[in-house]
A = this chain, B = another copy of it.
Amino acid sequence: MQIRDPAELTAIVNVGDDVELHGLHISPDLDTITYTVAGAIDPERGWGLAGETWHAMEALARFPLARSWFNLGDRDLATHLYRTDRLRAGATLSEVTAEIAAAWGLGCHLLPVSDDTVRTMVTVPDDGEIGFQEYFVQRHHDVTVTAVRFDGADTARPGPTVLRSLADAERVVIAPSNPIVSIDPVLAVPGVREAVEARRADVVAVSPIIAGAALKGPADRLLRELGHESSVVGIARIYAPIAATLVIDEADADKAGKVEAEGVRCVVAPTIMRSPAEAAALGQIVLGQ
């Protein structure tokens, strides 16, 4: 299988990371994908725009009570201003997301998993339950997590074309993202897990854990803190009900047998994506399954 036209590619994206700050609706996961596919992302930071300026943030620091822990670049702000304005005017998040993707010239489809509000809430010892960005950005995910909850997920509806996309896809890929706070809030929207399950034979997951650790972010720590095993075997255990195939990194080749014992077919491949070329190569492997 090969993607000949970007329009054949649809990304169903987590909105549990979304946050309202300064009155703006910020969708970090949607924006990171948009900027990445557009080739506009800052490659060092891995978020926000390359060549960004920070004049608004610097000016915000003048105000002692400002919530300035969430960095918003000047050009990135335009995305949030636009999204917020359109949402206030009655557009859905799906509609605005499509507009933003078109404006950036993305050929692929970007679907927020839901147009309803889903918020990843994280329980930490000292502060109780806090929002995801308060955990991830404000506390640099440097605290123990005792629980994760997806506020609003119970009553959220999948975006208008989410279930159809899953049903019609030739291949469904679970990206090497954080299973607890990035993939699970997608699956938590009623109907989505079932729709993925229904395609299990065509679902390929890529392990975010390599040699027991996450390349970046707190996936390894979160897995351990919430009772999972931070290994490709632990990942296999989590995804076995919804994915027939798990791609693990070459560094974990010796665990292929244990992965398959969890009930998934195991594919060993180079999974570290340091460049678009390496990402494309992994994409070919995933589609080739």
Interface residues of A (CB under 8 A from B): 20-25, 53, 55-60, 62-67, 74-82, 84-88, 99-100, 103-104
Contact of A22 with B24 at beta-carbon distance under 8 Å, contacts A74-B59, A77-B56, A82-B63 already known: yes
Q: Chain B contacts of A55 at CB under 8 A?
A: 53, 55, 74-75
How many identical subunits does the complex contain? 2
Q: Chain B contacts of A103 at CB under 8 A?
A: 62-64
Q: What are the nearest 6 A-B pairs in CB distance?
A: A59-B78, A23-B84, A55-B74, A22-B81, A59-B75, A60-B78
Q: Chain B contacts of A60 at CB under 8 A?
A: 78, 81-82
Query: Can you name 29 A-B pairs with beta carbons within 8 Å?
Result: A20-B88, A21-B85, A22-B24, A22-B80, A22-B81, A22-B84, A23-B23, A23-B24, A23-B81, A23-B88, A24-B24, A53-B74, A55-B55, A56-B78, A58-B75, A58-B78, A59-B74, A59-B76, A60-B82, A62-B78, A62-B104, A64-B99, A64-B103, A65-B82, A65-B99, A66-B78, A66-B81, A66-B85, A77-B77
Mostly helix, strand, loop or mixed at chain A's interface? Answer: helix
Contact of A78 with B53 at beta-carbon distance under 8 Å, contacts A23-B24, A64-B103, A99-B65 already known: no
Shortest Cβ distance from A90 into chain B, in angstroms?
A: 12
Across the two chains, which residue of chain B brings its CB closest to A22? B81
Across the two chains, which residue of chain B brings its CB closest to A54? B74
Please measure, in the bound complex, the distance between the C-alpha atom of A60 and the C-alpha atom of B100, giving whole angstroms: 10
Please measure, in the bound complex, the distance between the C-alpha atom of A145 and the C-alpha atom of B75, giving whole angstroms: 36
Shortest Cβ distance from A137 into chain B, in angstroms?
A: 15
Contact of A23 with B75 at beta-carbon distance under 8 Å, contacts A53-B53, A62-B104, A103-B62 already known: no
Please measure, in the bound complex, the distance between the C-alpha atom of A84 and the C-alpha atom of B103, giving whole angstroms: 27
Please measure, in the bound complex, the distance between the C-alpha atom of A57 and the C-alpha atom of B81, giving whole angstroms: 10
Q: Chain B contacts of A88 at CB under 8 A?
A: 20, 23
Please measure, in the bound complex, the distance between the C-alpha atom of A159 and the C-alpha atom of B104, giving whole angstroms: 45
Across the two chains, which residue of chain B brings its CB closest to A91? B65
Q: Chain B contacts of A20 at CB under 8 A?
A: 88
Shortest Cβ distance from A47 into chain B, in angstroms?
A: 16
Q: Chain B contacts of A53 at CB under 8 A?
A: 53, 55, 74
Please measure, in the bound complex, the distance between the C-alpha atom of A49 and the C-alpha atom of B252, giving whole angstroms: 56
Contact check, B63 vs A100: say whether CB atoms are below 8 A apart: yes
Q: Chain B contacts of A99 at CB under 8 A?
A: 63-65
Contact of A85 with B67 at beta-carbon distance under 8 Å, contacts A22-B24, A23-B24, A53-B53 already known: yes
Shortest Cβ distance from A64 into chain B, in angstroms?
A: 7
Contact check, B86 vs A65: say whether CB atoms are below 8 A apart: yes
Across the two chains, which residue of chain B brings its CB closest to A51? B55
Please measure, in the bound complex, the distance between the C-alpha atom of A120 and the C-alpha atom of B85, giving whole angstroms: 21
Q: Chain B contacts of A78 at CB under 8 A?
A: 56-60, 62-63, 66
Shortest Cβ distance from A95 into chain B, in angstroms?
A: 10
